[in-house]
Structure 1
Amino acid sequence: MEGLLYQPEWRIIDQSAVGIHFQALQSFGTDDTLCASVGAGQAPATARSWVHHNTVVLGIQDTRLPFLQEGIDFLQAQGFQAIVRNSGGLAVILDEGVLNISLIFPEVEKGIEINRGYDVMWQLIQRMFADFPHMIEAREIVGSYCPGSYDLSINGKKFAGISQRRLRKGVAVQIYLCVNGSGAGRAELVKQFYQLAKQAEPTKFVYPEIVPEVMASLSELLGTELTIADVMLRLLRQLKEQSQYLYAGQLNEYELGLFPGYYQRVLDRNEKLAEMK
């Protein structure tokens, strides 16, 4: 775990302040591009940060909800767009108070075990907030949206979820951090989406019964108002400690050549959803 977080070079691609014109679909295309590039040895280990305007990111299982269009109509009425992502999990909310971090590693030697990828992100978040007297746990928080065994929580309240994307010998470990705002408010929105999109119809897949009170933002849990910039500074400090060379960068020439193809795949995956709107 220590060895994975430590890299000779860490390249930082900070897209946390790009604004509302940077679409979430572009983010998923970017992470696939980085997986392929880092996996091919065309770029060093890369940390990418990103923030998006009001977007609900659905999982593949969510697209099978019996009344999906009614759920999407509700989200749009609340000022949110809905997209489908290319990694696992269920619906999550992105807005200006949610910071996303992707760590992209090359798979070398025997490869990176699934749990090792989750553990390294958990370790990073623990280090980023080590100055607070709160234990950050990794376990499933029942009643949260997009529940998983690596939900990050403080005192039983979830503030982050981790996923992974593996492609062409590259591994992207992705986390969303609810930095500020109301965690319960976000959960209430997802709860209403599922109520409208599923209703009383029986389904083969068991969708989560969301209890908004089990979710909160870091600002709420730590008792101090954090901004995206505050958390970015904590991230940069930790990565600097875990590398010989930390630098800011953008997509290189090789990656710029790959991006259109991976972005198109993400667009194709969302065509079905777009046709329903």
Structure 2
Amino acid sequence: MNERLQQTTWRFVDQSISANQRSPLESFAMDDTLCHLVGQEMSNATIRTWVHEGSVVLGIQDHRLPHIDQGMAQLRANGYEPIVRNSGGLAVVLDAGVLNISIVRDETTPLSINAAFDVMVDFIRALFPQIAHKIEAYEIVGSYCPGSYDLSIDGKKFAGISQRRMKNGIAVQIYLCVEGSGSKRAELIREFYAAGLQGEETKFHYPIITPHVMASLQELTGELITVQEVNERIRQLLKAWNGMLVELPLQENEHELYTYYLQRIIKRNESMLKK
């Protein structure tokens, strides 16, 4: 177990229900706010959970698809609203069966990119001790948003990790496909790239999606595990580590900073989607 996780007094921000009907842009603004607060020693290190329905979060490269308008139209036709995020990676699906977790800490002690990813991997293994030995971190070819820290069991991906650094803070973000069909989510992204590329050659190599390499934790474990159950596991794990839980939503004196970052990310997203 990563000592940084157990020795830290974590602030817990639970938005697993409250953010459900909001735009994911609000969550990225929240993580920017927390990066600022934690990095400037205005808040304890923070773990935040969040869920958004019916969205596909695009990366910068996705927005450079030759037929991006058709790609986004394909997503909307399937009931998903596209946005462009401010961290790395490619398109990912957010819905009611996907739990997102952000670990935000400062860079008082320098942390390499891989070491920051390892913190999240250790956290996920601690959440699921019965299957921790089965969880592997390596790129799953054929998945959407592939990366060297894809989390999988028996070669099937159920989670992907990204990170963002600013104001001496680090936000390591993971999406966990907890409920539903991983392959159906992958099929949605496969159709998005088909519509966005329309067979054209591009300098950037977009992933060739093979839906069967993705699955949810429900599918992988054969158990009726739910988003809210995993959220409660986080709450109990933090209590076990610290003997108490500092559950603290955004405070009144932090809202001005959040409003600033939200306005900034909304303007950026609007300018990207207009291009």
Shorter-chain TM-score bucket reads over 0.9
What residue in structure 2 maps to residue 98 of structure 1? 98
Deviates more, 1:60-69 or 1:20-29: 20-29
Paired position in structure 2 for 1:13: 13
Identity of aligned residues (%): 53
Letter in structure 1 aligned against 2:169: G
Counterpart position of 2:134: 135
CA separation in 2, counterparts of 1:20 and 1:253?
21
Change in 2 beyond 3 A, CA 1:38/1:53 = same
1:245-276 Cα deviation digits (max 9, x unpaired)? 42211112442121111111211221134436
Query: Is the Cα contact below 8 Å between 2:19 and 2:50 reproduced in 1?
Result: no
1:78 to 2:89 alignment: no
- Once the 2 structures are TM-superposed, how far is the Cα of residue 150 of structure 1 from its aligned partner? 0.2
Contact 1:179 1:228 in 2 (8 A): yes
Within 1, Cα distance between the matches of 2:177 and 2:68? Answer: 25
CA distance in structure 1 between the aligned counterparts of 2:132 and 2:14, rounded to whole angstroms: 28
Paired residue for 2:258?
259
- 2:116 is aligned to 117
Q: Is the 8 A contact 1:29 1:266 kept in 2?
A: yes
How far apart are the structure 1 equivalents of 2:187 and 2:125? 27
Q: Contact 1:160–1:175 at 8 Å: present in 2 too?
A: yes
Query: In the alignment, which residue of structure 2 is the partner of 1:203?
Result: 202
3-state DSSP of counterpart to 1:173: strand
C-alpha separation between the residues in 1 aligned to 2:57 and 2:132?
32
Does 4-13 or 21-30 show the bigger shift? Answer: 4-13
**Residues in 1 aligned to 2:45 and 2:244: alpha-carbon distance in whole angstroms:** 11
Distance in 2 (CA, whole Å) between partners of 1:175 and 1:19 is 16
- TM-score, normalisation: structure 1: 0.95
Unaligned runs of 5+ in 1: none
In the alignment, is residue 169 of structure 1 matched against residue 160 of structure 2?
A: no
Kept after mapping to 2: 8 A contact 1:53/1:95: yes
Separation (CA, whole Å) in 2 of partners of 1:70 and 1:267: 22
Shift of 1:20: 4.0
Aligned to 1:57: 57
Instruction: Give, in angstroms, the shift of residue 239 of structure 1.
Output: 2.1
Output the TM-score relative to the length of structure 2: 0.96
SS of aligned partner of 2:163: strand
Runs (5+) with no aligned partner, structure 2: none
Greater shift in the superposed pair: 179-188 or 225-234 = 225-234
State the number of aligned residues. 275
Do residues 26 (structure 1) and 26 (structure 2) align? yes
Give the structure 2 partner of residue 268 of structure 1: 267
Note the C-alpha offset of 1:235: 1.4
Letter in 1 for 2:134: M
Higher mean displacement: 220-229 or 242-251: 242-251
